[in-house]
Amino acid sequence: MTDITIKGAGIFGLSIAWECLCRGATVQVIDPHGVGAGSSGGVVGALAPHVPENWNPKKDFQFESLIASKGFWAAVDAAGGGASGYAQTGRLQPIEDDKTLELAHRRAETAQTLWQGKAVWEVVSHSADWPVTSPTGYWIYDTLSARINPKQACAALAAAIIGKGGRIVSDGPERGAVVWAAGAWDLHRISNALGKTFGNGVKGQAAVFDFDLAHAPQLFAQTLHFIPHANGTIAVGSTSERDYSEPASTDDQLEDVIARAKRIVPALEQAPIIARWAGVRPRSKSRAPVLGRHPLNPEHFIANGGFKIGFGMAPKIAQVMADYVLEGRNEIPEDFTPEKSL
């Protein structure tokens, strides 16, 4: 007997499968392309929060998920003998001008309440281990941000699932409750069936430098994420392309990212580039994750649309989807329901 069939072996599908297994369900994951074959197999891995102001259910959900991430990934790594690359190393952001500096101080005050003393957002006058400068001499530093190695994290989840008795297969019959976590492919399928946009894929390109700052916080500067990984590399990205013809190929837009990265962090000028990556990330019409009953089959479920925030949201999404599918308890935020993208 299979209690749950997950369609899709990306971060949402694997995380939900793991949570359901931990609650005693029998689970199979079906993906013809394998584990982390889509955007979940990327290279960047920035787990970063929204700013601590104008609080809403989406920001609160993400906050709870980021807080839960340390325990979630520790359990996954222990169960599967893997190394997800997770570390709560924090994040630095250079402050560009006096207006932004004033805003950063105000956000530091609101963070004390909104982040409940579980993490800190503050203004600092040093750049930790980063060989870069800030125009004002000040930086935003938060302790909530974390890093993960996306491809390794998917592999770690797969190992944990198999180690706990779950199955990951390329094809097979749907058994039990069916959860579609099939990324951009399913968003396009839904849009075509409905005759209107429900969601779409957004291409991203990123690069990996051979430059070791493994213990440094991540850096966010001039819209680019710089993520130091434990293996002695720095991933930099990414583009956001609504229009594209080659979903998996890199081009001049990535070369522009690389050039910008070298201007921001001059030390990267001499660092070899050891990987270039491109992939298509699922973006719902509402821009929020889509959780609940599947628009094309109300007997099935959907977990999709983790555009740019999938890994950070995954622990909490796994929890609420397991609540809903296994126990019939619906704690999905209203903004995350499929109706918001219809």
**Tens of each residue's pLDDT in the chain, 342 residues:** 679 999 999 999 999 999 999 999 999 999 999 999 999 999 999 999 999 999 999 999 999 999 999 999 999 999 998 899 999 999 999 999 999 999 999 999 999 999 999 999 999 999 988 999 999 999 999 999 999 999 999 999 999 999 999 999 999 999 999 999 999 999 999 999 999 999 999 999 999 999 999 999 999 999 999 999 999 999 999 999 999 999 999 999 999 999 999 999 999 999 999 999 999 999 999 999 999 999 999 999 999 999 999 999 999 999 999 999 999 999 999 999 999 999
Residues 244 and 212 in one domain: yes
pTM metric for this prediction: 0.96
Closest CA to 247 of 185, 192, 194: 185
244 domain residue, yes or no? yes
CATH of residue 235: 3.30.9.10
67 domain residue, yes or no? yes
CATH of residue 151: 3.50.50.60
Q: Which domain holds residue 252?
A: 199-284
Cα dist from 74 to 46, 83, 87, 221, whole Å: 17, 9, 10, 29
Dihedral (CA of 159, 47, 234, 225) sign: positive
Residues 64 and 204 in one domain: no
260 domain residue, yes or no? yes
Residues 294 and 251 in one domain: no
Question: Which H helix or E strand runs over 337?
Answer: none
Q: What are phi and psi of 117, to 5 degrees?
A: 75, 5
Domain count, the chain: 2
Residues 169 and 215 in one domain: no
Last residue of a domain, one of 284, 308, 324: 284
Cβ atoms 81, 164 nearer than 8 A: no
Residues 165 and 293 in one domain: yes
For residue 160, how many other CB atoms are within 10 A of its CB? 24
135 domain residue, yes or no? no
- In order, the DSSP letters of 269-318 are GGSPEEEEEEEEEEEETTSS-EEEEETTEEEEEEEE--TTTHHHHHHHHH
